[in-house]
Structure 1
């Protein structure tokens, strides 16, 4: 096996529920061994529906899924012992203690690590005697995660792993996920926290209405959207007194009172040209704000753009990363 081996391979995946609602519409992507891939999207975008098909919890309506070279639904016995799954709701027995829950789960898990070790990993080492019903929402998510990593999985599926956690719990979980990934675990997660995706993901896909609207490395997705520069026009100056905006790589501008906002895909070029001009003229650009595009801005732009577009051709144009390109990374 090589580090470029594809351990998750999805091609033309569809999932239609009773009544004809199509939650997943011809989705294709691949994940290499040791990679962390994030699925983003608004509520109802199809993230969890896609994840459940990869976990083998349901059969696709159409398309193909391979996890570790096997069909996760039809060959569940070959896939399940090698994967860890953290659902949105663990469904553990409320009357059991944390330690009792872990021991019960370990009895059903091949090659389980010591339960005390699993609980320590997620910060529940001192909560073993507490009943599940007495745990906070964030602690229940920690327990869900502990059970997902109990079997030392090759692939870890995380569905909204830090929902309900406080800031400390979220960052502790990120550190654990990073450690697992450094040890070779492949991770596929869904999340509503864009900061989480920025912190953890090697690559991500943004879903909208069951389709992939954008895919790539975080920096690639962000770089596809323009940066912004804003400042207050100096007294006595007008927009036409600025250096030619096209020569600075500015693609759009707005003037709101005395405040200028420039949009550019070449932030360094535009900012440098503007500052050189201001220095040469002996001017101070008050309220200067130079800002790169963020994943949040890219996400919102893509969601709006995808909502305005229609038809499968638009989805095919944006879903461009091939299996060969992933394997080459």
Structure 2
């Protein structure tokens, strides 16, 4: 029985219909109908599975952030050392971060479809015991709209602060606005949440929400309030903008941000010195020969200098 229930839950990930046409039910909808026939005892199992998936997403996000921070530190140190010693110098002797210590990204498949299917199943069943799991799903950017839609029918007293936090994650759409109306969230509440937000992207999302909520006399913030300087957040100081204030890193450094390159791409190639080549520089032609440089052949392009490979990610 338990194996059968687990199989039904896994089918919730398959939302596509068959080749018979769009009128045929998808495996997800057939699984939802089967779960509803089993009764409310499936709700704790579904809610527990949803919490497990949300925990996996959070753990993978933490690991990805750790990988990103390690590579950011490696690139920042490389940029600094090249500025101090020049491009033609082997900076590995000065580096404090070895290439071998750089972590590689963990292979992770986002169970997006399964999370969406479980939320839809909990919504269709309509048991209020699913409310805490649905509120937790509001913290996942990919699940905000689906969870907000479900919380209109599965009421939760804890939904208001979670909906306000979710509004900082995504641009407001119909499902989120309908949930705000259902729970009676006012412009004053949304403005207080806007004033407490520290991330530029979150403030933009909340500003868009404030423009679409009915006026209750509180007044909307001036768009100039959405410009810097941003409040300092200890968890984001000195890092890329991932829900925090803008980074202080240079534009040149920010243009190369792999989430773990293959080992073959780790060491950036250094320009070769023409003094070490058997042939002279391309701007000087051999006596009695025709140079391929732009000086000898008007209209032709000069050989481009060696550049590092583009980011494959």
TM-score of the aligned structures, taking structure 2 as reference length: 0.27
Larger radius of gyration: 2
State the TM-score, normalizing by the size of structure 1. 0.26
Structure (1/2) with the larger helix percentage? 2
Higher fraction of strand: 1
Higher RCO (C-alpha 8 Å, min separation 6): 1
